[in-house]
Amino acid sequence: MVTTHNLGFPRIGARRELKFGLESYWKGQSSIAELQQLGRTLRQQNWADQAALDLAPVGDFSFYDQVLDMSFTLGHLPERVRGFHGEALDNYFRVARGRSTPAAEAHAACCAGVAAGEMTKWFDTNYHYIVPEFTATTEFKLDASRLLEQLAEAQARGVKTKPVIVGPVTYLAIGKSKDGSNRLDLLPRLLPVYAQLLDTLAAQGVEWVQIDEPQLVTELDADWQHAFNTAYHLLKTCKVKLLLATYFGQLQENAYLAANLPVAGLHVDAINDREGVQPLINLLPAHKVLSLGVINGRNIWKTDLTATLDWLEPLAQQLGARLWIAPSCSLLHVPVDLASEQQLDAEIQSWLAFARQKLDELQVLAQALNHGRDAVRAALDANQAALKSRRASPRVNQPAVKLAVSKITRDLGRRESSYAQRAPKQAALLQLPPFPTTTIGSFPQTAEIRQARSDFKAGRLDASAYQAVMQAEIQRAVREQEALGLDVLVHGEAERNDMVEYFGEQLEGYAFSQFGWVQSYGSRCVKPPILFGDIRRPQPMTVAWTRFAQSLTSKPMKGMLTGPVTILNWSFVRDDQPRSESCLQLALAIRQEVLDLEQAGVRVIQIDEAALREGLPLRRTQWKTYLDWAVESFRVSANGVRDETQIHTHMCYSEFNDIMASIAEMDADVITIETSRSDMELLDAFDDFSYPNEIGPGVYDIHSPNLPSEQHMVALMKKAAERVPAERLWVNPDCGLKTRQWPEVIPALKHMVAAAKTLRAELA
């Protein structure tokens, strides 16, 4: 008999209950007891949803982030939050958010505010975790209370559980050394705490523990390979069975290592690495369980159950009871329930599966494997009918779009002239001062803006009233920027629910959900639009708003678009054609928008590629192929403009060094980037490569509630000027300001504009 299990379930709730509960608690509008109760309710709901599984996860629920949970379990708190006198959960939020909750304010005198932990992307997903901070003196001390509490809840409910933890090697690998020490030196100190944790779980009656080691799908040098051996040889004496879980990619050269670690079972991602499964079985010792992730945990299409069974049945014969099946990874990365959707086109809805539906699919597979396909004939037939309808749908395939992509030549992505030739033309037209100031696009998305959009969507506000509210917001943003004395203005993106979903809503070939929320970080969620068919832009998407904004000012107004690679990477995309093909289709649509903006007199156009770096394959050997089509897509979207039109791009992350050449090939006139937290170190990469165009190194860390001082920003820019000629530098924040409040933004930008003036006086 095959065993079914799940690696993790979304914890935000089908109606984002956790988001609202957290934000209410953070605002002091509800108590810690109410928040804890909400946590229990959500966990109970999640276990109810997973009742049919042989093993359901426990410990996957988190009030903010599972990596931060692991840090607390390991007693590994940043120095700056130790000795906090209030509730442990408040201290947890201090690390996550860098500020106190009202409840923790009682301790303001003894436990003042702290810097937030750094956030970064969880492998190649759009989920952000809080980065563990290591130094040579880092110590660990077990605190299993959270896990034991959740375990007891599950056991009381009669759930057949499998606690989930981040494995020790991945935990070290995804953290950062703060003092240049080698994180691997901490392994001997870390492993005894893991051993103690596993034995504590065993004492509570746990048989299996899922220990997540996605680091195994990346290229590992000898030291990290050795760390895997050391870790699991030490943990093998623990009294639980370990299911070592890998996901998001292929084991490749790590297959031998993974197969032979002394654990009871191995989970692999059979969506990303189906070809690797049979060779892995040949390597796997005969006593080990092999869990195959056969349902895609990263996308929302129905699984082809018949094809999956065609592939699985011989493996089931071969492995017998050693075969487990599951989604490929935690379902954290997909929305909760397709059944919530009331407005999705019925045909498209019939092609989809969210978390709850994916578990139903898993059940059908298990039934078919355990009792024969006839036991689930109706479900299999319905599944085949849905897939057939998707394949044959004329809405998916638009020959004219495919033809347009096939006609793309390299020249389409080339500017008329080199940067050196076009820069003086742009300067003459724009008449900007040295160290020009600008912002990245969005201004605060206030509760009023969100409410107006919600009312509009619900029919409580008509289109002209909605337009009036948005125009008033744009007017406010323009007035504020003029008062601040910024040089290149933005309209503020009030009308956008999200920088990707907004475009998805307007492009043909996209569908969008009402409740398809996925956690991005903490309480913040995104609703990735669903790219189901060939992409066409029926009409301009941003021109009217930009034209309106430009009409309010004589300063240059930046057109604001999201680039094709970012739209692709932050959407649920079709799996019936290569990503590169979908990306080029998006590139053609954005190109039309760029040309329409130019035609409307917009002289500066920013095309955000915030997710270009995140989309890099986890293995370096696959980088070139990705970068080739990603950069080409950007170039196609951006570079059809005249010399006089200035193209900006923005990337809000700081690890560029490895891909600098590709960034330069995009040939944007100006790139704005995150650098303030890294103290301008990032610019070393630009310096080494002699990045030829203009750069706006972000000087205002928008993720922090702290007010940046003028002196700090001047100092950062002076560091920048040591690496990049002053005449090619811009002054701007790190990223958009949508998550901040106006009272924070105004003083910060005042300081930024003052910093630019000082720089002009001293350096220009």
Ligand X SMILES: CN1c2c(nc(N)[nH]c2=O)NC[C@@H]1CNc1ccc(C(=O)N[C@@H](CCC(=O)N[C@@H](CCC(=O)N[C@@H](CCC(=O)O)C(=O)O)C(=O)O)C(=O)O)cc1
Subset of 645-664 contacting ligand HCS (CB under 6 A): 650, 652
Q: CB within 8 A of 404, min separation 6: which ones?
A: 585, 588
Measured distance CA(729)–CA(573) in Å, rounded: 37
* Tokens 């060094």, located at residue: 657
3-class secondary-structure state, position 325: strand
Candidate list 67, 423, 499, 748; residue touching ligand HCS; CB under 6 A: 499
442 binds ligand HCS (CB under 6 A): yes
Q: Is 23 annotated as a binding residue?
A: no
Cα 71 from chain centre:
20
Is 751 annotated as catalytic? no
H helix count then E strand count, the chain: 28, 22
CB of 121 to ligand X, least distance (A): 8
Q: If phi over 0 gives left and psi between -120 and 50 gives alpha, with beta otherwise, what is residue 162?
A: beta
Q: Which residues pair with 352 in a beta bridge?
A: 301
Pick 15 or 82: Cβ nearer ligand X? 15
The one of ligand HCS, Zn ion, ligand X, none whose footprint includes residue 525, by CB under 5 to 8 A per kind, is ligand X
- Helix (H) / strand (E) element for 508: namely strand 508-511
Pick 319 or 652: Cβ nearer Zn ion? 652
Q: Taking a C-beta distance cutoff of 8 angstroms, is the pair 477, 491 a contact?
A: yes
Candidate list 60, 608, 667, 694; residue touching ligand HCS; CB under 6 A: 608
Q: Which of 76, 333, 491, 703 is catalytic?
A: 703
Stretch that binds ligand X, among 75-83, 220-228, 342-350, 450-458 (CB under 6 A): 450-458
359 binds Zn ion (CB under 5 A): no
Pick 237 or 454: Cβ nearer ligand X? 454
673 binds ligand HCS (CB under 6 A): no
Task: Record the tokens describing residue 320, joined without a space.
Answer: 């017998």
3-class secondary-structure state, position 553: coil
Candidate list 193, 525, 607, 668; residue touching ligand X; CB under 6 A: 525
Ordered alpha helix ranges (H), 10-144: 17-26, 32-49, 66-73, 88-97, 102-105
Q: Is 609 annotated as a binding residue?
A: no
Measured distance CA(443)–CA(470) in Å, rounded: 12
Q: Taking a C-beta distance cutoff of 8 angstroms, is the pair 595, 613 a contact?
A: no
Measured distance CA(547)–CA(601) in Å, rounded: 8
The one of Zn ion, ligand HCS, ligand X, none whose footprint includes residue 724, by CB under 5 to 8 A per kind, is none
735 binds Zn ion (CB under 5 A): yes
Pick 358 or 738: Cβ nearer ligand HCS? 738
Residue type, 676: S
Q: Is 493 annotated as a binding residue?
A: yes
Q: Is 652 annotated as a binding residue?
A: yes
440 binds ligand HCS (CB under 6 A): yes
Q: Is 632 annotated as a binding residue?
A: no
CB of 283 to ligand X, least distance (A): 37
Measured distance CA(325)–CA(368) in Å, rounded: 12
Question: How many residues belong to the site for ligand X (CB under 6 A)?
Answer: 19
Stretch that binds ligand X, among 91-99, 495-503, 660-668, 697-705 (CB under 6 A): 495-503
Q: Is 111 annotated as a binding residue?
A: no
Q: Is 524 annotated as a binding residue?
A: yes
Stretch that binds ligand X, among 159-167, 389-397, 494-502, 706-714 (CB under 6 A): 494-502
Q: Taking a C-beta distance cutoff of 8 angstroms, is the pair 354, 9 a contact?
A: no
Q: Is 735 annotated as a binding residue?
A: yes
454 binds ligand X (CB under 6 A): yes
Q: CB within 8 A of 175, min separation 6: which ones?
A: 131, 132, 133, 134, 183
Q: Which residues pair with 129 in a beta bridge?
A: 120
Q: Taking a C-beta distance cutoff of 8 angstroms, is the pair 106, 85 a contact?
A: no
Measured distance CA(471)–CA(407) in Å, rounded: 39
Active-site residue list = 703
**What residues line the site for ligand X (CB under 6 A)?**
19, 126, 450-451, 453-454, 497-501, 520, 524-527, 570, 610, 739
Write out the binding residues.
16-19, 121, 440-442, 493, 524-525, 570, 608, 614, 650, 652, 674, 735
**What residues line the site for ligand HCS (CB under 6 A)?**
440-442, 499, 560, 608, 610, 650, 652, 735-736, 738
**What residues line the site for Zn ion (CB under 5 A)?**
610, 652, 735
